[in-house]
């Protein structure tokens, strides 16, 4: 019961903040989750997460390791389906449509919600084939020229085209870590998703590559709804407009990024931001 009250209060807060005229995130809600729980076997990993993810903005999930932020991210494109023993409860809606509806085709869903992983994971194929992978399996293009077009524009959007235009047929695994990660972003964008989920996309990269990816995320915000899980509070502060703080499988606090970092309401959030937990 307490939990429930907490959630109600939290939602109230968000509404209060959203009412604030100076708020930068008064936008349409793209993804809406209510009381999402995840069990791995007997262990409960998430305890009733309710959050709204606004359109054309970057929402970041922060929190100490093992707090459930990645687990929650993987609920949004149903990647938890591939983990044996994982059970998801509650509702997650994309544009008002329940994504756990048995009628819904998970293949279509994942084409609408792209994902970028912690470690760059290009396939052991050429750069071209990596980007063309999605359009090919979904049959998005009808001719070679169309496909070329999609590959080039995706690479452009990921800011990689100029660096690789002369070696599209070389293996994607031969690129540097930062380039690989941008290749993975290009690969995700090639199927034309509306939402892009990023699971600590910079944790395996050096500071320069990280800066390039952060810049890219900022550009992509114009056209995509982005959710990013990050370990780095600075990164969350730099790239996101909305921030949610997770701890031990609970959503502790969420709100406009600036407010969370300058004026956190919850004691635990304060402690985390001051570096006392995690």
**Residues of the shown chain interacting with another protein in the complex, contacts defined by CB under 8 A:** 77, 79, 82, 84, 106-111, 114-115, 117, 119, 121-125, 133-134, 137-138, 184, 187-188, 191
- Tell me how far, at minimum, the Cβ of 190 lies from another protein, in Å: 9
CB of 115 or CB of 260, closer to another protein: 115
CB of 229 to another protein, least distance (A): 14
Q: Which is nearer to another protein, 188 or 236 (CB)?
A: 188
Taking the complex as a whole, how short is the minimal distance between the CB of residue 192 and another protein, in angstroms? 11
The angle at the Cα of 218, spanning 214 to 223, to the nearest 5 degrees, equals: 135
Cβ distance to another protein smaller for residue 18 or 204: 204
CB-wise, 132 or 237, nearer to another protein?
132
What is the C-alpha end-to-end distance of the chain, expressed in Å?
Answer: 28
Strand-pairing partners, residue 5, are none
Residues in the chain: 278
Instruction: Report, in Å, the least distance between residue 23 CB and another protein.
Output: 32
Closest contact distance (angstroms) between CB of 119 and another protein is: 6
Q: Which is nearer to another protein, 108 or 149 (CB)?
A: 108
């Amino acid at each position: 019961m307490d939990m429930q009250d907490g959630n109600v209060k939290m939602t109230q807060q968000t509404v209060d903040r959203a009412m604030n005229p100076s708020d930068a995130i008064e936008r349409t809600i793209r993804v809406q989750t209510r009381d999402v729980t995840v069990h791995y076997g007997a262990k409960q990993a998430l305890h009733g997460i309710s959050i709204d993810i606004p359109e054309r903005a970057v929402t970041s999930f922060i929190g100490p390791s093992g707090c459930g932020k990645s687990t929650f991210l993987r609920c949004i494109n149903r990647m938890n389906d591939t983990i044996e023993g994982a059970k998801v409860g509650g509702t997650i809606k994309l544009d008002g449509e329940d994504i756990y509806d048995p009628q819904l085709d998970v293949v279509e869903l994942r084409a609408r919600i792209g994902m970028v992983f912690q470690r760059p994971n290009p396939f052991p194929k050429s750069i071209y084939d990596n980007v063309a992978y999605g359009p090919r399996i979904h049959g998005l293009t009808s001719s070679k020229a169309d496909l070329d077009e999609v590959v080039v524009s995706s690479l452009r959007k990921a800011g990689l085209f100029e660096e690789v235009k002369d070696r599209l047929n070389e293996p994607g695994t031969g690129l540097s870590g930062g380039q690989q990660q941008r290749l993975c972003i290009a690969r995700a964008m090639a199927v034309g998703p509306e939402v892009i989920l990023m699971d600590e996309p910079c944790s395996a990269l050096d500071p320069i590559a990280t800066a390039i990816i952060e810049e890219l995320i900022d550009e992509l915000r114009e056209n995509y709804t982005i959710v990013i899980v990050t370990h780095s509070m600075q990164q969350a502060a730099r790239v996101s407009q909305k921030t949610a703080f997770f701890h031990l499988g609970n959503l502790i606090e969420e709100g406009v990024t600036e407010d969370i970092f300058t004026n956190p309401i919850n004691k635990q959030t304060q402690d985390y931001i001051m570096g006392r937990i995690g």
